Amino acid sequence: MDELRELYQQVILDHNKNPKNFGKIEPANRSAEGYNPLCGDRIDLYLQVEDDVIKDISFEGAGCAISKASTSVMTTVLKGKSTAEAERLFRKFQKLITSEPGAEPDLIEMGKLAIFCGVREFPLRVKCAGLAWHTMLAALKNENKPVSTE
Ligand code: ZN
């Protein structure tokens, strides 16, 4: 777990400094905005979905290092995945960041998402890490109202 903690800090720092898939994609046929009032995190998420596959995904916005890193890592994981797989990963990620120690999903299967396991020790940070995923789900469902973690 110590290794995971170190990796967590490194990945958060890296993605915060050099976020992946940052900027608006054209064309995007799905989008949603997310807001976490507890921390002030705001993201705009853009997806290009064709035949139920996420062909492209990107984001803009500003927030804390954890929200930004979580969004950045999520985009790298979801690009090329089916929408069904994205929804499955959403549920797994929620479980990962809210589970009791020992009850988390298989960390190896979670791949690079596993590092976010560390946020469950900080309830306020759970919303920062989860914002991207809630926003992604809203974008897939094409809900036009902004997503709020509250
Ligand atoms: Zn935050």
Q: How far is the CA of 3 from the centre of ligand 1 (A)?
A: 23
For the stretch 130-144, pLDDT in tens is 999 999 999 999 766
HEC string of 52-72? CEEEEEEEEEECCHHHHHHHH
Tokens standing for 111?
Answer: 């791949």
Q: Quick one: average pLDDT of 8-21? A: 92
Amino acid at 125: R
Q: How far does the centroid of ligand 1 lie from the alpha carbon of residue 45, in Å? A: 16
Which parts of the chain fold into alpha helices (H)? Answer: 2-17, 65-78, 83-98, 107-110, 123-140
CA 17 / ligand 1 centre spacing (Å): 15
Residue 66 CA, ligand 1 centroid: distance in Å: 6
Residue 6 alpha carbon to ligand 1 centre in Å: 20
In the reported structure, the alpha carbon of residue 60 is separated from the centroid of ligand 1 by a whole-number distance in angstroms of: 15
At 51-109, the pLDDT tens digits run 999 999 999 999 999 999 999 999 999 999 999 999 999 999 999 999 988 888 888 88
Supply 23's token pair.
């900027």
**What is the model's pTM?**
0.92
Determine the distance separating the centroid of ligand 1 and the alpha carbon of 126, expressed in angstroms. 9
The topology (CATH level 3) of 2-140 is Sufe protein. Chain: A (3.90.1010)
